[in-house]
Every structure is written in C-alpha cells, then in structure tokens.
Amino acid sequence: MASPVSIGDAFLLAKLALKLGQTFTTGRKSAPAEFREVESQLYSISTALTALGDACQNNGLQLGINNTVLQNPVHSPRGNKGDDALLSMLQGCQDVLQNLEGVVEKYSSIGQPEQLNRPCFQKWKSSVKKNWKKIIWTTEGGDLAALQRNLSIHINCLDLALGVIGHTRADRMEKSVVNTMLMLTEIHTWFITNIRDNNGSGVVTSAQNTNVMHPSATEPPPPLTEIQFKISARSLRGLEVLCPNASIHPMWNQKRSECDLKNSGSHHKLFKCNCPLLPGQTAPHPFEVDSLAVSSFTFALRQTGATKSWMIYNAANRSTNMVISLVIENVLARSIHEFETSFIDVLATNNAKAMFRPGCGTTLAYITAGKSQPIEHRILNFLSDLDQVRNKVEKVTFTMKDQSYTRTGITAIKLMHYKSSTREYLSMDYVVDPKDLLPLDTAELEITYKQGSDSDIAKSILYITYKTISKRSPNSNILILENIPCAGLTTKNQESTLNGINVSIQLKSPEAAMLLQRSIQHMREELFVMSLKAPRPGERLALKLEAKGFHTDRVDMADCEISIVQSETSDDLRLIITSKDERTILSQDLAKDFMETAEGTPRFSAPTYAVQIVGHGTREIQTYKNGFKMVDFSDVRRDRLFGLGLAVLSGSGISLPRITQAKPTDQNELPGYSRFIQ
C-alpha cells in the first residue's frame, strides 16, 4: 500500500509526473503513436500538481474537511474515510504515478546523450512497439486506454480543486471556507465514482433516462490509404491534373531497407491511382502517379483559400529525376482531420529534421532562439498562393505618425503562417512530434528587396492577425494595412521591430491589389478559426473533457471535446466545443452572469461562433446571436463534471442542479464572421 500523502508531496508527485512524461518524449521514436496522449497528460498533471502545491502553501487554508460539515460523508476506498477529500485525490494520483513508474522501469532502458552536457535519459525497449497492447498499465489490470481515462480524471479533479482554492483566496470569509470544503467534497465524490467506474463497473449514460436521446456514434473516417483526392502538378502553365481519384500509397512512409538501397531503380511510391481502366489501358495514370515519391527535401503544408487544399513541395519525380510541387484537393470533409494529422503533419515533421540543424534552416522549417529565449522549432503551416502578384508590387510605404519610409525594388512577397514548439529534446536523434507544435497567433507577410549595402533593410515582415484591418478603395491599386507590427531585417539578420505602423502597398493594377487583399482575408480567416478552437494569448485551459454526446437545440455532436478556458486578467470564461473530426467548432464567451438565473441553471445565451466544414473542404462560419436554449449530455458523469467546472470557475458555490434549459431566446442568426472581420 502506498504511504499516506500530504500537501507537500504535491511537488514530489509533480517531479515524478514530469520525469515519466520525459520518458514518453525521449522514447517516442521507439514507441507507438498511442503514447503521445499519455505523454501530454503526464505533463498536464505535473503542471497541475505544482500549481496545487503553490496554491495551498500560499493560501494558508485548512483544507481538511470535518465530517460534521457533511450530511453524507464520502468514504474513500483508499483509506482516508472521507475526512480529507483533497488528500484522497492526491493519494489516488500517487497510486497511478507510482504504478506507472514501475511499468516504465520494467520496459525501458537508459539512453546515452549525444552531447556531454546532457543528462542520461530513458527510452523504450524495442519490444514495446510490438507488445504495448499486452502490457498492464494500471493497478487494476487495465490497458493503455484505461490509463488515459484515469489520468484524464485526475487532471480534471486537480484543475477543479485549483479553481476552488483560487476563489477562496479572493474571499476568506467563513462562509467561503465552508463552501470550499463542500465544493472539494463534491469534486471528491465525482472523483471516487469515476475511478470506480473506469476500473470495471462501466459508465452511466443517459440511456437510463428515457427523456434524453442517446445518439449513435459518429461515422468513423476511412483509413488514410482509402481517402481519395485530386492531385495536380504546379507548372508555369498553372495547375495540371495528374489524377482526379488518387489515394496515399500504403508503403509511403516505410523505411527503405538495405535491399532497396542496393536497387537504385526502386522507390517507395507516394500515391496510387484509383481511376477505372479504359479499354486497352494497363493503368489510367501509370506514368504520372507511379513515378512520384518522397525525397529528402519533400515538405507538406496547408494552403489558404475558400476550400481546403494542400501542397506537397519538392516531391521526387522518378521518371524525370527532377523535383515537382503538387497540389491536393477534393478531400471529403469527414476525412480531412485524419488526412492532415496522419499524412500532411507527419510528412512535414519527418523531413523538417534536417532543417533544424544549426545554419540549415529554410522558410519551410528553422530554429529560432534569442539570448534569453528557449529554443523554438518552427514549421511552416499555411502558405498563401501569391504567384499572380509576385512581380506586381511596385513600392511599399511605412508610416508612423508624421514619418514615412518607402521602398521599391521588391523581388518577392510571401504570406506564411507557422507552428511552433519550445519543447526541449534530450536526444539529438529526434523528430518533432506534430502534437508538440502549436499555431502562432500571427501570420507573416514577408517582402524582400533588391540587395544593397549590408546596412540596408533586405527584408520586411508585416505581422498579420485575425483583427488586422485592410482597406482598398474600389478600382484602386493600393492596399493599406493599419496599425500593425513590422520588423526589418538587414542582410546580416539584424532585426528591428516597430509597432503601430500603417503600411501602404502599391501594386501594378487594381486586380493585383484585389488578389493580395483576398489572400490576406483568407489568412485572417484561418487565424480566426484557430483562435476559436484553442486558448488565445492571455487565456488558460481551466477544464477539458471528452463527451460521447453533446446536445443543443442547434448542434448535436456524438463525439466531441469540451474545454473551458479562462482569461488570466479578467477571469472571463469561454466555452469551446470541437467535434472529434474537427468538422464542427463552437465558441461562446460566457456572460458574466451566466450562473445567476432564477431557475438556478446556467444560461448559454451569449453569441456563439459556429464553424462547419462541409463537402470537399468548404468552410462555413456563422453566429448564433442568442446562443443555445438547451445543453445536455449523453453521459451523466460528463454532465456532472461540466456543471462542477462551471460552478467552480464562476465562483457560484455548491448549488449544482442538472443543466437543462436556460432562459428562452429567439432563433435569430447573423452571418457572424462578416460582423467580426470586415
């Protein structure tokens, strides 16, 4: 049996969770993809435990819960008899982490760093990748999925406990302290019940309630190799269709064997054709499709536009011994998430490794680090097609207050967006995991000039956000960007940055100015959608849970992820719901008084942005002006956790009735995106 814990042990447990997470990180090359979620969860637990230890020490609260406060004391199966809910949760966390530590010790070995000043690290044994499904990951004999559910329960409970303590710190009245004890006990009740259900007794669903619909599961997307799309080749003549019904070749990502290397004529095919054969044909597109392969410099990225498309940059054409850039279109909406995560992101990160070496960075991928900043890996995420305006920019004028600076001789213009990771990798033999990369909240409009003296500005970078204002008069060849940050780089990469700049870009024709403005609008739309589905700068993730059924009077999802994020300055809350396949995104800034209703139920009537991917990647954005009348779950456990999270974060206390119906609202809808982005 594990030894009893105290609040001070939260820091020790945080270090243990961090150590285990690092094992999953450094051992990723020899581990299955399913380990990535556990790795992320361990880092989240480490962060939460550290914050909890700090909060309890700094707050000075007596968090022991006296049984006289409780009408129905909770008896924990871990031996604490309900006299201290918080310590019981810590004890459960210790059990999970110590058991996982034993599993890691059994199935890992010590790896030697490639740099002398780096510590040794643990990596998984070679047998783990084949046999991980046979490993017992929990004390109750559960598999990896059971471990993930356990870790998710602990993360949610720790985050809720932090929310309770934070609100108590702001109000030290006796009533608030009693409320804190009641809230922690309520969280503890949810914790004990869900740990028990996760370890064998199943999940209680709303199927037990005849008044609530129990939806069928979302239709899963087809496997990666069965997703079909159109491939076109980029050339001076534009796009030339190679195959309208192509798919990923099953062997596209296999490592080449020694036999392959000896046979110079062999290569792993990138795509296969699925077009029907015509009379006399052995294959519809044998020459065009079979000759395409991955080279050492092949890179994949997303393109901006009204409909989703992707570019495969520098694919190898084995029939000509040249490289070629390809464009992929017409992926069905339900397959896009799988296509991007399993093909586009993997292909990009696999070949970015060579560019992360010092001095080898390119526009596609590079490492950046200031003198006091951590190493940052950046990979190109979105690229706007500016081929039609590349040679049509005549001059750029920068204005700040009464001063202006004009440059001519523009040789190139690019509009790009990057993903970034600041994670440190202990082994030099690493590949950046796509899940480590987070999208930046700005895009870069990069303008390059003819090279002059070393002191001249060789390149300007205009930082674009989803709020950037762009103006152009009808039939004008001038595009104006207002009040944006700009950076100037010399030929020696010396950088200077100014804020609040008005930039005037003069092109050769009104048509070219219109195309540039449209490209910027498309990029702003991408930035806007990214800001809806993830915490923005200045927001923190307060609660995250998965739901098998989330129901409203407007949107009904069978599988989704629900997050509550909180402003670090105003404590305002935002609700985010994302479908498992990311086809649907909802974002609502909760009203400050959303818990203050006569019925005692939360109100979700604030304006809500809704993003939907339909057809072959067309995106629709609208606003529900008056939010939702009703919110409900298929799983009553998730319903209760959601209610707990809202009550804790809003500071409304322990009164937590079931979420049913809010104040009636009308059905008015607005084309919300047009309101938000002019």
Query: Which residues constitute the domain of residue 34?
Result: 9-202
**What pLDDT score was predicted for residue 470?**
94
| Residue 218 covered by a domain | no
- Over residues 614-633, mean pLDDT: 91
| Residue 623 covered by a domain | yes
In tens, the pLDDT along 245-300 reads 999 999 888 765 444 544 444 567 899 988 887 777 666 666 678 889 998 889 99
| Residue 425 covered by a domain | no
- What are the CB-based long-range contacts (under 8 Å, 24+) for 335-338? 335/221, 335/222, 335/227, 336/308, 336/581, 336/582, 336/583, 336/613, 336/617, 337/221, 337/581, 337/582, 337/583, 338/221, 338/222, 338/224, 338/227, 338/581
φ, ψ at 356 (rounded to 5°): -85, 0
Closest by CA to 629, choosing from 555, 532, 548, 549, is 555
Rounded distance between C-alpha atoms, residue 666 and residue 625, angstroms: 9
Query: Strand pairing of 376-383 and 299-303?
Result: parallel
More confident residue, 211 or 480: 480
- 156 and 134 share one domain: yes
- Integer angstrom CA distances of residue 303 from 56, 309, 522, 637: 48, 6, 10, 40
More confident residue, 236 or 371: 236
User: Residue 634 has what DSSP assignment?
Assistant: S
- Over residues 489-499, mean pLDDT: 85
- 543 and 513 share one domain: no
Rounded distance between C-alpha atoms, residue 77 and residue 192, angstroms: 8
- 496 and 523 share one domain: yes
Q: How many percent of the chain have pLDDT more than 90?
A: 33
- 343 and 466 share one domain: no
φ, ψ at 60 (rounded to 5°): 65, 25
> 616 pLDDT band (50/70/90 cuts)?
very high
- 174 and 37 share one domain: yes
Rounded distance between C-alpha atoms, residue 214 and residue 73, angstroms: 33
Provide the number of structural domains found in the chain: 4
| Residue 285 covered by a domain | yes
Highest mean pLDDT among 305-319, 347-361, 367-381: 305-319
3-state class (DSSP) for residue 34: coil
- 197 and 234 share one domain: no
User: Residue 285 has what DSSP assignment?
Assistant: S
- 85 and 198 share one domain: yes
Q: How many CB atoms lie within 10 A of CB 136?
A: 14
Rounded distance between C-alpha atoms, residue 568 and residue 537, angstroms: 9
Report the CATH number that the domain containing residue 569 is assigned in CATH.
2.30.29
| Residue 430 covered by a domain | no
Q: If you average pLDDT over every residue of the chain, what do you get?
A: 77
Instruction: Write down which residue in 497, 531, 565 finishes a domain.
Output: 531
- 51 and 25 share one domain: yes
Q: Judging by beta carbons within 10 Å of its beta carbon (0-12, 13-18, 19+), is residue 151 exposed, middle or buried?
A: buried
* Number of separate helices (H) and strands (E) present in the chain: 13, 29
Closest by CA to 308, choosing from 324, 332, 272, is 332
> 233 pLDDT band (50/70/90 cuts)?
very high
| Residue 659 covered by a domain | yes
Longest dimension (CA), the chain: 88
Residue 103 has pLDDT above 90, yes or no: no
- 618 and 489 share one domain: no
Q: Does the pTM of the predicted model rise above 0.75?
A: yes
The secondary element (H helix, E strand) that includes residue 286 is helix 286-290
In tens, the pLDDT along 136-163 reads 888 777 888 888 888 887 887 777 777 6
Rounded distance between C-alpha atoms, residue 219 and residue 559, angstroms: 10
| Residue 379 covered by a domain | no
- 16 and 138 share one domain: yes
- 30 and 174 share one domain: yes
Closest by CA to 230, choosing from 219, 217, 218, 241, is 241
- 527 and 603 share one domain: no
